[in-house]
């Protein structure tokens, strides 16, 4: 053992990344390689792998490290030579994998100086001889900085190689994806109409930043069989730009995480745009220049809050900041779930993590307070109607119940916000602070009525809301 290494191994709280940077100062490639093996052993242990050095799994050949996570074994080869790892290194790892008794063995080659192009292409073509996953310096520094990201990154690399025939490397150019059309996403099942009954792509409101959205339905994750409370789960995702957000919606839809009634809010410094539907959201997002034409002093970023319900109960919000320039870079993007409990079948969420390269390991956390907060105003608050949320009815009861045969029903209202903070007047203490700047509310309607039979007056019946880690979902309810 090299002097001082034992002390460093025992110091479990030391920085793996800092130790790695110090290794670069060693002049001997042999010493660097040996110290790198020791560092990788600490890395895999911190990522909750079971690790053995110089294990006999591939006898008579020696393997640097063997790590196990669940039922999967990884044969790990570490290289820190002065040149990129070539095809000879790959053949050596394949030979050890073939000698292993288990068919669930995966090769991992970590090369600080990268890999030759011919070796990477050979790996892609000969992937049927067993998967070998590659880590260059960029990805090594990533997992050394956040060891909990190692498990998911290995899953992503294996999926890319086996399913798509691609070698996943941070330094390699990523495959160019076509720009997904918004029309491939499901459209809203409800429509927004102005007070003149003309259709609207979204509702434009005065307002500011605050990461909130209005919803027509708000699942209460505490309302479940048995005692206990709901749980939350936060998933950081990394879409590169606006198209990455749309790609994320396509992924959510393909995995069954999108309903016909998602609600959303796009926020700028002086305006908010509220809408319904995944397709409509993608179209509004891409029309950012048109939306901001009327703003005198647009901020350099806009915020999005997207809300949708989950099959089996619960909901999630998607929040992000998007740059208001032609690159449309995305910052601080996060999915935040509230669910009735920890799912017995975790695979749908694991697939979600893998597809979106959510490298951070997340935890289910029990809610410490009521999931949904409700408030009934002491007096009727009259509402000024500025638009309607309309749903189509497929009821075929014209003979038995002619009054139910109308095809268009008002299920929600767009109204002026009676609790807006203006002229020095503060809103009700029970009113959520994030919404006090909003000029408008999009309310659910407690008692629906046909579109061609408007009511003379409406009032605010109640409001309820839930908070995720990043957003507020508010459900104002109107009645007549």
Q: What is the pLDDT along the chain (480 residues), one digit of tens a residue?
A: 333 443 333 334 458 888 888 887 787 777 888 888 889 999 999 888 999 876 555 454 445 689 988 888 899 999 888 888 898 988 888 888 887 756 678 999 999 888 988 888 888 888 777 789 999 888 898 889 888 888 888 888 888 888 778 888 875 544 445 678 888 888 899 999 999 999 999 999 999 898 999 999 999 998 877 778 899 998 888 888 899 899 889 888 887 888 889 999 999 988 999 999 999 999 999 999 999 888 888 889 999 999 999 877 899 999 999 998 888 889 889 999 999 988 887 777 777 776 666 655 578 899 988 999 999 998 889 999 999 999 987 655 455 455 555 588 999 999 999 988 776 566 677 888 889 889 999 999 999 999 999 899 999 999 999 999 889 999 999 999
CA distance 279 to 253: 11
| Three-state secondary-structure class, residue 421 | coil
User: Which run of H or E residues covers position 411?
Assistant: strand 408-416
Residue 103 structure tokens = 């068919």
At CA 52, angle to CA 47 and CA 56, rounded to 5? 145
Name the residue ranges covered by the structural domains of the chain.
5-164, 199-367, 374-479
CA distance 8 to 2: 11
Residues 6+ apart with CB under 8 A from 160: 166, 167, 168
CA distance 227 to 386: 42
Place of tokens 């190689």: 161
* pTM reported for the whole predicted model: 0.72
Structural domain 5-164, CATH architecture: 3-Layer(aba) Sandwich (3.40)
| Three-state secondary-structure class, residue 128 | helix
In terms of Cα–Cα distance, which of 212, 199, 230, 249 is closest to 435? 212
Residue 425 structure tokens = 């007047």
Task: Say how many CA atoms lie within 13 Å of 373 toward its Cβ.
Answer: 13
């Amino acid at each position: 053992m090299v002097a001082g290494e034992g002390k460093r191994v025992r110091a479990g709280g030391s920085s793996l990344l800092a130790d790695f940077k110090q290794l670069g100062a060693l002049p001997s490639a042999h010493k660097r390689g040996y110290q790198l093996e020791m560092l990788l052993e600490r890395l895999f242990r911190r990522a909750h792998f079971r690790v053995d050095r110089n294990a006999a799994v591939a006898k008579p050949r020696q393997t640097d490290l063997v790590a196990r996570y669940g039922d999967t074994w990884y044969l790990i080869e570490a290289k820190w030579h002065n040149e990129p790892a070539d095809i000879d290194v790959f053949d050596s790892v394949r030979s050890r994998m073939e000698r292993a008794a288990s068919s669930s063995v995966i090769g991992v080659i970590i090369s600080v100086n990268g890999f030759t192009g011919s070796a990477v292409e050979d790996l892609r073509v000969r992937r049927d001889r067993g998967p070998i996953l590659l880590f260059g310096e960029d990805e090594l520094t990533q997992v050394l900085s956040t060891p909990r990201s190692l498990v998911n990154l290995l899953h992503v690399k294996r999926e890319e190689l086996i399913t798509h025939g691609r070698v996943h490397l941070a330094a390699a150019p990523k495959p160019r994806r076509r720009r997904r059309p918004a029309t491939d996403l499901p459209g809203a099942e409800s429509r927004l109409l102005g007070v003149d009954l003309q259709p609207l792509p979204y509702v434009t409101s005065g307002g500011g930043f605050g990461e909130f959205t209005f919803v027509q339905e708000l699942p209460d994750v505490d309302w479940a069989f048995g005692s206990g409370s709901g749980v939350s789960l936060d998933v950081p995702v990394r879409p590169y730009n606006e198209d990455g957000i749309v790609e994320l919606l396509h992924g959510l839809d393909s995995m069954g995480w999108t309903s016909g009634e998602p609600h959303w809010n796009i926020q700028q410094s002086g305006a908010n745009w509220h809408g319904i539907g995944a397709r409509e959201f993608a179209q509004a997002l891409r029309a950012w220049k048109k939306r901001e034409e009327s703003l005198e002093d647009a901020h350099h970023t806009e915020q999005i809050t997207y809300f949708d319900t989950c099959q089996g109960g619960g909901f999630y919000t998607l929040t992000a900041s998007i740059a208001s320039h032609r690159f449309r870079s995305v910052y601080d993007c996060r999915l935040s779930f509230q669910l009735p409990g920890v799912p017995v079948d975790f695979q749908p969420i694991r697939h979600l993590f893998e597809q979106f390269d959510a490298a951070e390991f997340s935890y289910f956390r029990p809610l410490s307070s009521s999931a949904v907060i409700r408030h009934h105003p002491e007096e009727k608050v009259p509402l000024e109607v500025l638009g309607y949320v309309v749903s189509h009815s497929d009821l075929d009861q014209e003979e038995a119940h002619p009054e139910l045969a109308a095809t268009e029903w008002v299920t929600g209202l767009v109204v002026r916000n009676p609790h807006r903070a203006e002229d020095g007047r503060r809103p009700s203490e029970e009113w959520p602070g994030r919404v006090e700047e909003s000029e408008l509310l999009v309310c659910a309607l407690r008692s629906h009525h046909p579109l061609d039979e408007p009511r003379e007056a409406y009032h605010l019946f109640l409001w309820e809301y839930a908070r995720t880690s990043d957003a507020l979902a508010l459900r104002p309810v109107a009645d007549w």
